């Protein structure tokens, strides 16, 4: 039992070391997702985005087998949820039973409309991050996938967040494959408390708070009070920093850039000698908050990423499309044809 737990702990934190430098993951995990404006591909301002039927229909993709190179490269989907059972008490009981996998969740809402959850708080996939570890070309590709993206599932239009909650993680990974052309080799699911605990386990992070921040939301027991400047922050203060959304629209920084700075600081700390000497305790803490299918055999195959990470090139790729109000709610309308062409450059 202890050996099994230790192996899981190690595999999860190895995964964290792989995806920690990404900005978008925590940004969407903790707050409403930002639009795709940061990366090597700009959001599409026209085209299919104005035609929901065309935009939400999955493209036909030939040969969706693994895009790994001789079994050495891999693709991982990171799913960040808004699960906060210690703070929010109005979840539907079935949601607890099915979380985080939702393998049997189709029965919770057979219509696919989420209407059954109107009286309850659902557990949502608030952030999705696609990562390609491309060993053959010495690069990591990071792509934020908007959880509000509209897609078609069995003739029903729903967001990717709803796909996760109603059809489960395995169906979600197949849908991500359909809209990107990347076969998903592994997934990892983590919640808000996990991010805070992980940062505390490395004794906080030194980051720059770009402006004075003050905000309160008693319903979520969220109280933000941070002063501008370079300072060492606890896990709670770091999550407060990323959750803050009161920036001046004319400022040179925003939610995404601030989150990037926090994630970069976390990546450097995880790879530092001071943390490596106590990495097993960090593993143990992180494992309490995540579910992953990145197993011990996978760990053995990919431990070289720890040694080589600094030398790898990093690419941020934005999913083409636009945010719009559709049927009364804000959603992301994708340009899937352009996306397939974009991602094909990294296959």
Nearest to 130 by CA among 270, 22, 6: 22
46-90 residue pLDDT tens: 334 333 333 344 443 334 444 433 347 899 998 888 888 888 888
pLDDT score recorded for residue 157? 92
Residue 159, helix vs strand vs coil:
strand
Strand order of the β-sheet with 186-191 is: 290-292, 186-191, 74-81, 125-134, 139-145, 313-318
Residue with tokens 């509209």: 150
Q: Is 139 exposed, middle or buried (0-12, 13-18, 19+ CB in 10 A)?
A: middle
Residue with tokens 């699960």: 83
Considering only the C-alpha atoms of the chain, give the largest distance between any 2 of them, rounded to a whole number of Å: 54
Q: How many CA atoms lie within 13 A of 134 on its CB side?
A: 19
Residue with tokens 């990591």: 140
The first and second tokens of residue 19, run together, are 């995806």
275 close to 269: Cβ distance less than 8 angstroms:
yes
272-317 residue pLDDT tens: 778 777 767 776 777 777 888 887 677 677 777 766 777 888 888 8
- What parts of the chain have a pLDDT lower than 70? 1-71, 104-119, 255-257, 260, 279, 283, 296, 299, 306-307
- CA 67 from centre of chain: 21
**Count of beta carbons in the 10 Å neighbourhood of residue 205:** 23
Task: Give me the domains of the chain, ranges plus CATH numbers.
Answer: 2-203+281-344 (3.30.420.590)
**Count of beta carbons in the 10 Å neighbourhood of residue 54:** 14
Torsion, Cα 59 322 177 314, to 10 degrees, reads: 130
The first and second tokens of residue 347, run together, are 């296959």
Distance CA 175, CA 157 (A): 13
Q: State how beta strands 222-226 and 205-209 pair.
A: unpaired
What are the beta bridge partners of residue 264? none
Q: State how beta strands 186-191 and 74-81 pair.
A: parallel
Residue 317, helix vs strand vs coil:
strand
Torsion, Cα 117 123 126 128, to 10 degrees, reads: -120
Residue with tokens 């036909």: 60
């Amino acid at each position: 039992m202890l050996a099994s737990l230790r192996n899981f702990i190690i595999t999860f934190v190895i995964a964290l070391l792989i995806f920690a430098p990404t900005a978008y993951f925590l940004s969407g995990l903790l707050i409403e997702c930002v639009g795709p404006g940061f990366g090597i591909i700009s959001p599409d301002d026209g085209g299919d985005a104005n035609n929901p039927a065309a935009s939400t229909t999955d493209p036909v993709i030939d040969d969706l087998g693994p895009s790994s190179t001789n079994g050495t490269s891999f693709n991982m989907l990171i799913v960040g949820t808004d699960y906060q059972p210690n703070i929010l008490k109005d979840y539907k009981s079935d949601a607890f039973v099915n979380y985080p996998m939702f393998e049997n969740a189709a029965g919770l809402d057979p219509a696919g409309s989420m209407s059954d959850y109107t009286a309850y708080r659902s557990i949502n996939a608030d952030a999705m991050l696609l990562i390609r570890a491309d060993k053959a070309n010495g690069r990591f590709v990071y792509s934020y996938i908007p959880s509000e993206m509209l897609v078609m599932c069995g003739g029903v239009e729903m967001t990717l967040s709803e796909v996760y909650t109603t059809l489960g993680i395995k169906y979600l990974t197949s849908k991500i494959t359909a809209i990107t052309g990347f076969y998903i080799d592994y997934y990892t699911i983590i919640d808000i408390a996990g991010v805070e605990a992980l940062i505390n386990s490395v004794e906080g992070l030194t980051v720059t708070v770009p402006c004075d921040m003050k905000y309160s939301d008693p319903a979520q027991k969220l109280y933000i009070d941070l002063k501008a400047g370079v300072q060492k922050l606890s896990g709670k203060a770091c999550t407060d920093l990323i959750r803050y959304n009161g920036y001046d629209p004319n400022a040179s920084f925003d939610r995404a850039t601030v989150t990037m700075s926090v994630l970069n600081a976390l990546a450097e700390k995880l790879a530092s000698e001071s943390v490596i000497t106590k990495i097993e305790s960090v593993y143990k803490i992180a494992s309490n908050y995540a579910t992953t299918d990145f197993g011990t055999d996978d760990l053995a195959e990919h431990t070289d990423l720890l040694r080589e990470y600094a030398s790898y090139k990093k690419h941020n790729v934005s999913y083409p499309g636009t945010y719009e109000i559709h049927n009364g709610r804000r959603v992301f309308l994708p340009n899937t044809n352009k996306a397939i062409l974009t991602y094909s450059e990294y296959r």
